[in-house]
Amino acid sequence: MMILEDVPFDSKGNMVRDTSWIQGITRRTVTPFLATLMYAGYDRRTSSFSILWEDRNGHKFPMFWSDFDKMLPDIYLGKGVVVGWWRVVKRSGYFGIQRIPDDEVPK
């Protein structure tokens, strides 16, 4: 099971991709989680953009474009909703979620 420590969240509970532009963040440890996420748009605040997902409580999670591109052929994206297991990944100081492939789902 992949556990990532020191994951940034804003005061509203949204996961933060890049901490250089926001103040008042808190850090949390995140373990893989089961969630139904709805497509919520995209973000271009940094040199690259990310896909945004929203959970049932209105919390947003960024996703790297490369992870979205890799995930797309393997899912059914009915009405912009994806159900699955998710983990947090960190690349070059940026944070995002990644859908866990079915054959790697925590037991």
pLDDT of 13 > 90? The answer is: yes
19 vs 1, which has greater pLDDT?
19
pLDDT of 44 > 90? The answer is: no
| pLDDT, tens digit (0-9, with 9 covering 90-100), for 67-107 | 999 888 877 777 889 999 999 999 888 899 999 988 888 77
Of 10-14, 46-50, 95-99, give the lowest mean pLDDT range. Answer: 46-50
Question: In which domain, by residue range, is 19 found?
Answer: 4-104
The per-residue pLDDT for 12 is 92
The whole model's pTM is what?
Answer: 0.87
The per-residue pLDDT for 47 is 67
**If you average pLDDT over every residue of the chain, what do you get?**
87
Structure tokens at 92: 């070059």
Q: How many domains does the chain have?
A: 1
